[in-house]
Structure 1
């Protein structure tokens, strides 16, 4: 029997990794790669890349479209076994300049998708979200009962989408779970986020723009571990619940910058200290116990994954150079 999956936002960084891993049978024993049929719905905005998706694989169908457009979304969700929503505007700096697209995609888009899944009686929906919905935490780690307190329009729009999805579970019985992940890194990430931005700047002989004093603390998880977690929740997670996908490495941005400089043979003179971002959260930390109880364990050690990511960008300038201004 064919296992039909709709992946929204499937041409982006994390979504495309999920698609490739699903088709390659890398997401666990219950992910039937040989019988999978994946449909990718993507708006193909600046951060989506057609080359992220497998070419010539008849099991993968790519549709250009927007999750806010109800009619095509209804047609695509009909008959699917699983819908995974990666579709989102994600860059905090862009949301601070103009949050309209973020609210539209990250909140209204989730409502459109959830309604279509309800009408089509889709057996399973996973809403992929972020730790940023909680704001900043001075000590300890958030568990899934923590209240949302977003600091940026991006995080607020993601929190709105999560709440819409969870309300549909409570009110209508929609079989949806929400995953909230720490900072994700790896190959094919658009070079506006910290790691790919700093790596590509260093490869081009440029400085790296470090916000403020660099004391902001983030958790990090490799994109392949993130995707395994999302699929585990799709298979074993309880509808109406939130699951944290916690990274196993916490670093200040300053410490991370030092590691990247070392990997690329650059010195501290390549750091350009820039004015801090407005409303910049100081520290994120997730308690991943609920997901660990389902069997999730990150497999990629951070330093090895970071070194492999640097090498990928070093070896694939044809992928990222056309995305950057001169």
Structure 2
């Protein structure tokens, strides 16, 4: 077990909670912080582990509790901070853009400004998003210019650009990760894969935005967590690393695949609806840098990952069917 704990901000998020689980399995001590109480155990992957007692959870909001967060950093002499905390819904960011900017930009920059004065901080792992690139053709490398097309994406790009200046001027020890379309066991039910599975099992109708023609590359959360740890340990300061599989699939084809696996007719599950405002037609990340420079490879095939996710939904179905399957906004 490592003597120095890691700090995971946004630990209630799917990616954050799954990364906590990944590190706990390796006997790391984890300090976790999120603005809300811990969610139902079905949506909290680290709660499924025997090692869960090695995690110390604190309910702290980045917008209001920066002092408390910094007290944790200093008290435990934290060397690695992983920031998963963000307002992350794309379409809803048009409704209250100021909320997305406050969390993803203003409060996040305030955190960075405090952390840059911490002498025992070795690395700040900033979990960014491919949404900052906007809609792109072909594979997107890490040096692609930002072209955000939603308030969410603009708010994330602004914080990323601020971090670039912190690295250049203050030598702030940042590395960036950008993962494309993460999925897996424990994901929030408003995301396309768990929602499709849940609706199919419950006989509910799933709205398919724009007919599902947008193209994505889906990656299992276990592969994202392993990549994130590798980037933290061996990634070069100031560098951006894309985390992605090489396989692409349209949303419609993905839903059809899930329906086949569940043995439910596609037409019975889906109805076509209008597309979201500013939704990007495609963003396919080139992860060559991560594969070649850090010797990382994804291990979970799409079919295997979907099978695991289906098994999780079946296991917790009695609980999941009573939980919200749509995003509920919290300022």
Question: Are 1:161 and 2:153 an aligned pair?
Answer: no
Contact 1:38 1:60 in 2 (8 A): yes
Following superposition, the deviation at residue 254 of structure 1 comes to 1.0
Separation in structure 2 between the aligned mates of residue 124 and residue 319 of structure 1, nearest angstrom: 38
TM-score, length basis structure 1: 0.91
Question: Relative to 1, partners in 2 of residues 1:198 and 1:96: Cα closer, same or farther, differing over 3 Å?
Answer: farther
Instruction: Give the Å deviation of 1:247.
Output: 2.2
- Residue number in structure 1 paired with 2:11: 10
Retained in 1: the 8 A contact 2:91–2:279?
no
Report the CA distance shift for 1:63/1:130 in structure 2 as closer, same or farther (over 3 A). same
Cα deviation, residue 41, structure 1: 0.7
Match of 1:308 in 2: 308
Alignment match of 2:202 (pick from 201, 204, 227): 204
Deviation at 1:76, TM superposition (A): 1.7
Residue 266 of structure 1, CA deviation: 1.3
Deviations 1:67-98 (A, max 9, x none): 23321122122210110001111111221222
Q: Does 1:67 align with 2:62?
A: yes
Residue of structure 1 equivalent to 2:217: 219
* Structure 1 Cα separation of the partners of residues 243 and 297 of structure 2: 10
TM-score, normalised with respect to structure 2: 0.90
Structure 2 counterpart of 1:49, from 34, 39, 49: 39
Is 1:294 aligned with 2:291? no
Pick aligned residue for 2:105 from 104, 107, 110: 107
Cα deviation code 1:83-121 (max 9, x no counterpart): 000111111122122222221221123212212221222
Are the counterparts in 2 of residues 91 and 193 from structure 1 also a CA contact under 8 Å?
Answer: no
Structure 1, unpaired ranges of 5+: 26-32
The runs of at least 4 aligned residues of structure 1 exceeding 4 Å deviation read none
In structure 2, how many angstroms separate the alpha carbons of the residues matched to 1:132 and 1:284? 8
* Cα root mean square deviation, aligned: 1.8
**CA displacement, residues 206-262 of structure 1 (integer Å, 9 cap, x when unaligned):** 111111132100111000100111111100111111111112321011111101111
Query: Is 2:151 the partner of 1:170?
Result: no
Aligned to 1:324: 324
Separation in structure 2 between the aligned mates of residue 76 and residue 165 of structure 1, nearest angstrom: 22
Partner of 1:273: 272
Q: Would you say the 8 A contact 2:217–2:244 is kept in 1?
A: yes
CA distance in 2 between counterparts of 1:88 and 1:41 reads: 12
Following superposition, the deviation at residue 319 of structure 1 comes to 4.2
1:309, 1:284 → 2: CA distance?
Answer: 23
**Which of the residues 261, 264, 268 maps onto 1:263?**
261
Deviation at 1:130, TM superposition (A): 1.3
SS in 2 for 1:40: strand
Instruction: Summarize the Cα distance change of 1:284–1:155 in structure 2 as closer, same or farther, 3 Å threshold.
Output: same
Q: 2: distance between equivalents of 1:137 and 1:2?
A: 43
How many pairs are equivalent?
A: 314
Moved more, 217-226 or 201-210: 201-210
CA-CA distance at 1:312 after TM superposition? 0.8
Aligned counterparts of 1:99 and 1:251: Cα–Cα separation in 2: 30
Instruction: Choose from 65, 73, 76 the match for 1:77.
Output: 73
Per the alignment, in what secondary structure is the counterpart of residue 247 of structure 1?
Answer: coil
Residue of structure 1 in register with 2:281 after alignment: 282
Query: How many Å separate the matches in 2 of 1:172 and 1:321?
Result: 49
Partner residue, 1:131: 130
- CA, structure 1 residues 318+129, in 2 after alignment: closer, same or farther (shift >3 Å)? farther
Cα offsets for 1:13-70 (capped at 9, x unmatched): 1111111110111xxxxxxx2xx3211010127xx62521437744211000112332
